[in-house]
Amino acid sequence: MTRKRFVTLTLIPAIGLLATLALVSIAGAIWFSVMNRTLRSADYEFVGLHNFLRLLRDRRFFNALENSIIWEAITVIGTLTLAVLLAVLIFETVKKPLWRNLICFAFLVPVLLPRVAAAFIWRFLYSPSLGVINYLCGLVGIGPVEFLANPSLALISVAVVDIWQWGLFFTVILLKLLETLPREPIEAAKLDSARTWEIHAYVTLPMLKGPLISLTLVKAVESLRSFDLIFVMTGGGPGTATETLDLYAYQMGINMGGRISYASAMSVLLLIVTTMAFVIIWKAGKKWTN
Amino acid sequence: MQVKTFLLGTVFCTLAVQAHAQDEMACKGQVSSLNVIGQGMPAVTELSNRLSEFNAKWDTEVRITLLGENERRARARLDASTGAGSYHVMYVDEANLAEYVSAGWVYPLADVVPESYDLADFRTDLRNVATIDGTQYFAPFVGGGDVMMYRKDLLEEAGLEVPRTLDDMVAAIKLLDAADNRAHGWAARGQRGSGMNVWRWTPFFRALGGEWIDDGMPAFNSPAGVAATELYKDLMAYAPPGIATFNWSDSVEAFRSGQVAILIESDVFGPWMEDVAKSSVVGKVGYAPPPDPLPSAGWAHGWAVSTVGAAEGCIQVVAGDFVGWATSKEMEQQRLEAGIASDIGRVSTLQSDAFKALVPQEYIDALLETGPKTDLLIMASPVWPEIGDTLGLALEEIFAGTRTDVQAVLDEAAFFAEDSLAGLK
């Protein structure tokens, strides 16, 4: 048996299983999206593109789409920015390995917390009447601030929790990547009297371009799956201020009246839009790396 | 001859009962596990401590999945409607009973729960909520109506009488909120949901003459609906910050932590205020019926046997016995012994000395006085959860200030409700 044949044969079961799982659920979603199935009744019939056309007239759908885009932008940019800044800060200021390891360990704790637990903790911290954050705000004469009940603050307040969990985790990864970089280019920049921020802006971070793009994509995919965090903290509210597409699909398909065909149409559209967006980002990233 | 017939009849009945009991006990060990979907009410969490007794009786393992109200409703609906049947016993409430019954997802109670559990002892008000067209479908263990809870000390400081009318209550809320007493005047549910903000808004809507349906069309966008929404929203200005997304737990906790002067909530929360371990207002709370013309929102939660999950003989038998056992007189007495006075489903428990020892007489008086005002105020329709949730979202948008045109928002919710009602036809 040739090596190529061996690799192919060993990969087939895993890829077959993954493909089956993905294709069956996608096929199921497409099937339901052209029906008028609800959870209240076992009867349903073919309605063609009715669900998709109705989505185009649905104010809540466009609001959810807008929230999803804002959520993606805030959490991806926020996480990467926080991670880069903190990693560089620790890299430059904490020189002892023991301290660095202790900081890394502490930074890993938030991401190890289950999302639901983190959501409950922060919901309590944000409480206008009982929360620590509002207590601290009160000490400096601010508030009480309705972090989760104020429509203009709610989405960003939930995003802070996401950034807290993932930004610190990415900091650890970036710090370890910085430690593995060759010293020569950095020493050369120092000899040329480059300032610290210039060394990182023009030497170290460009050297980490590949990993940074990968981290961005990983975070972008992860941010699409923030249902649990938003659901526990705000349930999509106040009003529809934090209602993202996955949350709206859930509200329509499971929570409110069980319109699973309508929710499936939404999921299919979400799949198409995100696939297109990720292909564009991936190609742009590859071009930039090259 | 008559004596002979009587004796023969007695022997026959005795044998029949024994045979039935033997048939039932033949199911012992036949059901490896009994899956129950529930909600974390005190009666349910307390039940978890006593499961070993039931497990031993049937040589089974009861597994209770506890979820929040909205999640529990969603999961149970999904389970029954898809035919998955993962749950043998369902937690049912007043909002989804019509849907479950019309879809045929639950058995009539008397068909599955043994008579020995004395079904006639359930409270009439709760039994009414659990009944559709003369058939009772779930065994209630908690429910009731509304009660107005007020801080006696704050009212006394402000020189106010207990409000007996809605106008008096609104005036008192404003006065108490403005007073230097470290308390807000009012609290209420703002969070979306047919069982959340809509539930608490409904008495205002009905008090102002609102009707859900007019000539087959949704009518909650009527002038009464608009006026009720505006009044509810106005009162929120006298409530703790974050009120727009408060659920019942937030409201109750705000009151029992001393931050609120007046609260209208479900009467089961009365005993919560007297819990020395968790309440900072023990002994300071007065209880009264909701002021006129506010009606009291009747509700009930209980256990029912799923036709989807418990379709087969022995599972049906064990599930039926579980429902009877979990809501039995003995179970309620054991709950009282554990200090839980909020969840009462039986008349005999209400009349017991153990109950009277746990709650203030003033609370019992308020319950009795509120009784005649209690009714099912929501729309009794299989599509109520959908309509109620849509209305709940509309109300939350108004309360949170993301939308300000009350009439337009209610019109939009009513338009959506037309679709839901049309789906019934």
Assigned domain for B179 exists? yes
Q: Is B306 found in the same domain as B236?
A: no
For residue A7, the cross-strand partners are none
What is the share, in percent, of chain A residues with pLDDT greater than 90?
A: 62
**B400: chain A residues, CB-CB within 8 Å:** 149-151, 237-239, 241
Q: Does residue B256 sit in the same domain as residue B375?
A: yes
For residue A39, pLDDT beyond 70: yes
Are residues B406 and B335 both part of a single domain? no
pLDDT digits (tens, 9 = 90+) for B162-183: 999 999 999 999 999 999 998 9
Check whether residue B274 and residue B258 sit in a common domain.
Answer: yes
Asked if residue B17 is part of any domain, the answer here is: no
Kindly state whether residue B388 falls inside one of the protein's structural domains: yes
**Phi-psi group of A258: left, alpha or beta (phi > 0 → left; psi -120 to 50 → alpha; rest → beta):** left
Taking a C-beta distance cutoff of 8 angstroms, is the pair A168, A107 a contact? yes
Looking up residue A114, the CATH number of its domain turns out to be: 1.10.3720.10
CA-nearest residue to A145 within chain B is B241
Element (H or E) spanning B36, and its range? strand B33-39
CA-based nearest distance A152→chain B, Å? 9
* B215 and B269 part of one domain: yes
Residue B244: which of A41, A238, A257 has the nearest Cβ? Answer: A238
Asked whether residue B8 is domain-assigned, the answer is no
User: Based on the domain organization, do B293 and B320 belong to the same domain?
Assistant: no
Going by C-beta distance under 8 Å and a sequence separation of 6 or more, which residues neighbour residue B60?
B29, B31, B32, B33, B34, B54, B318
Residue A213 sits at the vertex; the CA angle it makes with A208 and A214, to the nearest 5 degrees, is: 100
Number of domains composing chain A:
1
Evaluate whether residue B241 is within a structural domain: yes
Return the residue of A nearest to B255 by Cα.
Answer: A129
The dihedrals phi and psi of B260, each to the nearest 5 degrees, come to: -135, 145
How many other β-carbons are positioned within 10 Å of the β-carbon of residue B160? 18
A71, A246 contact by CB (below 8 A):
no
Query: Which regions in chain B score pLDDT beneath 70?
Result: 1-24, 425
Interface contact flag, A40 B423, Cβ < 8 Å: yes
**A15 in a structural domain:** no
Under a CB-based contact definition with an 8 Å cutoff, are residues B110 and B119 in contact? yes
Rounded to a whole number, what is the distance in Å from the CA of B389 to chain A's nearest CA?
Answer: 6
Count: domains in chain B: 2
The domain of A192 spans: 45-289
Do B282 and B393 sit in the same domain of this protein?
yes
Q: Are residues B120 and B206 in the same domain?
A: no
Contact A38 B401 (CB under 8 A): no
Q: Which residues contact A67 (CB under 8 A, 6 or more apart)?
A: A155, A240, A241, A242, A243, A244, A245
Query: Within this chain, do residues B172 and B241 fall inside the same structural domain, yes or no?
Result: yes
| Per-residue confidence band for A225, with pLDDT thresholds at 50, 70 and 90 | confident
Per-residue pLDDT tens digits for B96-137: 898 899 889 999 999 999 999 999 999 887 888 898 889 999
* Shared domain check, B196 and B71: no
- Cis (ω within 30 of 0) for the bond into A128? no
- Please answer whether residues A94 and A181 qualify as being in contact, where contact means their C-beta atoms are separated by less than 8 angstroms: no
Nearest to A161 by CA among A205, A111, A198, A195: A111
**Residue of B156, B122, B159, B125 whose CA lies nearest to B141:** B122
ipTM topping 0.90: no
A259 part of a folded domain? yes
CATH no. for residue B314? Answer: 3.40.190.10
Domain-embedded: residue A112: yes
Q: CB of B77 within 8 Å of any CB in chain A?
A: yes
Residue with tokens 């970036």: A174
DSSP, residue by residue, A22-86: HHHHHHHHHHHHTB--BTTBS---B-TTHHHHHHTT-HHHHHHHHHHHHHHHHHHHHHHHHHHHH
Closest to B321 in 3D by CA, of B16, B23, B12, B15: B23
Residue A231 domain flag: yes
Q: Is B421's Cβ below 8 Å from some Cβ in A? A: no
Chain B residue with Cα closest to A40: B81
> Which residues of chain A have a CB within 8 Å of the CB of B241?
128-129, 144-146, 149
Check residue B1 and give its pLDDT: 46
Task: List the one residue out of A40, A290, A67, A272 whose CA is nearest residue B102.
Answer: A40
Strand ranges in B246-353 using DSSP code E only, listed in sequence order: 260-266, 285-288, 296-297, 299-305
Please state, in angstroms and rounded to a whole number, the distance separating the CA atoms of residues A199 and A221: 31
Secondary-structure percent of chain B, ordered helix, strand, coil, rounded to 5: 50, 15, 30
Range of the domain at B120: 31-144+299-351
A22 falls within a domain: no
Q: Does B252 touch chain A (CB under 8 A)?
A: no
Do B193 and B127 share a domain, yes or no? no
Alpha-carbon dihedral sign for residues A44, A45, A51, A57: negative
Residue B92, H or E segment: strand B89-93
Query: Of A89-93, A286-290, B85-89, B385-389, where does mean pLDDT reach its minimum?
Result: A286-290
**B252 and B269, same structural domain?**
yes
Residue A24 placed within a domain: no
User: How far is it, in rounded angstroms, from Cα A262 to Cα B128?
Assistant: 35
Mean residue pLDDT of chain A comes to 90
Task: Give the chain B residue whose CA is nearest to the CA of A127.
Answer: B242
What is the distance in angstroms between the Cα of A235 and the nearest Cα belonging to chain B?
9
> Using the beta-carbon criterion (under 8 Å), do B242 and A146 form an inter-chain contact?
yes
Rounded CA-CA distance A160/A233 in Å is 12
- The answer to the question of residue A269 being in a domain is yes
User: What pLDDT sits at residue B389?
Assistant: 87
Global pTM reads: 0.75
Set of chain B residues whose Cβ sits within 8 Å of the Cβ of A235: 70, 191-192, 245
Residues in CB range of B208: below 8 A, 6 or more apart: B224, B227, B228, B231
Q: Who contacts B52 (Cβ-Cβ below 8 Å, separation ≥6)?
A: none
